[in-house]
Amino acid sequence: MIIQLEPNIKEEELEVLKSQLSSIKYKANKVSTQFGDYIVAVGKKDFDIRTIGKLPGIKDIHRVSDAYKLVSKKWKVGQTQLDLGDEVKIGDGEFALMAGPCSIESEEQIQKTVEHLKANGVKIMRGGVYKPRSSPYSFRGLGIDGLKLWHQIASEAGIKIITEVMMVEQIDSMIDYIDVFQVGARNAQNFNLLDALGKVDKPVLLKRGMSGTLDELLQSAEYIFSNGNEKIMLCERGIRTYENAYRNVFDINAIATLKEKTHLPVIADPSHGIGVRRFVDKIAYAATVAGADGIIMEVHHSPEKAFSDGQQTLNFQEAETVYKKVDKYLELRDSL
């Protein structure tokens, strides 16, 4: 159950609410975010919610039986939209393109990518400076110095930055240089990291774990929201199955299903989703038609020379085709 509180609820009104909830053996969890105050009440007893809904200081009350609650669509009218500033918005009718290399590698690479994005009206650049790699001997990113350099070049060009944070300890040093924190598939259930990202006022793109269910993804998002940060988007990036003809299986079902389950924006990552360069465009279009609120894609001026994930990275020309064609698929989706 989600109880939306009036912003000016009095302390004694809150106490009345809490004692009512405890009398029916509901556990009350107070949540305060950038946008509102809530009580998430968890319990089993069936009762008439109007008895609580009519108490003073209560804005609204909703029954949400899912394990995840605040990220559920069941209580919120309308979709969440993230506003990154400078007219860059994601969700609720605003389709977002995010593109860039798997790893940030050099000043030259950043500059070339920024120019490419600017020329194509893409406002958000992806790239990793802390890279989770299967092998400890692979390139693991340029770290904070790479991020600072990237931020300097990107902000001059009006390009926003999305990049992966791997540890709680990195948050503070990164926060002034990023626009969106990415939580990678390997950290989708790093609950300490999710708790900490709930306490900052920056949007978070949360990727689905490699073998994570949608319920688990939504409960991970609930960690962030319930700690105080409502600025969340979810990302389908492919799951691991028995199929080995490609790197991952992009779960197209997840896009349509998540759109029904949550009010949060849902982003598709076709690059990791299939892991094969020549198919990335098709998966991007399929995800768009299925209802995605945006695409995050790996692009590089010379994918053959990329330090990581070159096999699934588009060159600038290939990427341009996707940016241009995606509108057609949005139109098609609207006509369905």
By the criterion CB under 6 A, which residues form the site for ligand PEP?
Answer: 102, 128, 132, 184-186, 207, 237, 272
Considering the complex, what minimum distance in angstroms separates the CB of residue 184 from ligand PEP?
3
Give the helix/strand (H/E) hosting 126.
strand 124-126
User: Which listed range, 228-236, 242-250, 283-291, 306-314, lies at the site for Mn ion (CB under 5 A)?
Assistant: 306-314
User: Whose structure tokens read 């994918």?
Assistant: 303
Residue 185 contact, options ligand PEP, Mn ion, none, Cβ 5-8 Å cut-off depending on partner type:
ligand PEP
Gap between the Cα atoms of 114 and 126, Å rounded? 10
- Report, in angstroms and rounded to the nearest whole number, the Rg of the chain calculated over CA atoms: 21
List the beta strands (DSSP E) in 219-287: 232-236, 266-268
- In one letter, which amino acid is 139? F
> 110 or 185: whose CB is closer to ligand PEP?
185
Taking phi over 0 as left and psi of -120 to 50 as alpha, with beta for the rest, 95 belongs to: beta
231 binds, among Mn ion, ligand PEP, none (CB under 5 to 8 A by kind): none
Beta carbon nearer to Mn ion, 102 or 188: 102
Which residue stretch of 39-47, 146-154, 206-214, 302-310 sits at the interface with Mn ion (rule: CB under 5 A)? 302-310
- Alpha helices by DSSP H, listed for 180-249, are 191-197, 214-226
At how many degrees (to 10) do helices 280-290 and 316-335 cross?
20
Residue placing its CB nearer to Mn ion in the complex, 251 or 309: 309
CB of 269 to ligand PEP, least distance (A): 6
- Residue 237 binds: one of Mn ion, ligand PEP, none (C-beta under 5 to 8 A by kind): ligand PEP
Site string for Mn ion, 88-127 (x = CB under 5 A): --------------x-------------------------
DSSP 23-53: HTTPEEEEEE-SS-EEEEEE------THHHH
Q: What is the DSSP letter of 278?
A: G
Sign for the pseudo-dihedral over CA of 187, 316, 310, 114:
negative
Question: Between residues 50 and 137, which has the closer beta carbon with respect to Mn ion?
Answer: 137
The entry of ligand PEP, Mn ion, none that residue 228 binds, CB within 5 to 8 Å by partner kind = none
Give the position of tokens 């939306």.
4
Judged by CB, which is closer to ligand PEP: 112, or 133? 133
User: In the set 105, 214, 309, 314, which binds Mn ion (CB under 5 A)?
Assistant: 309
**What distances in angstroms separate CA 169 from CA 59, 172, 196, 247, one per listed residue?**
37, 7, 9, 31
CB of 191 to ligand PEP, least distance (A): 17
List interacting residues with Mn ion (CB under 5 A). Answer: 102, 309
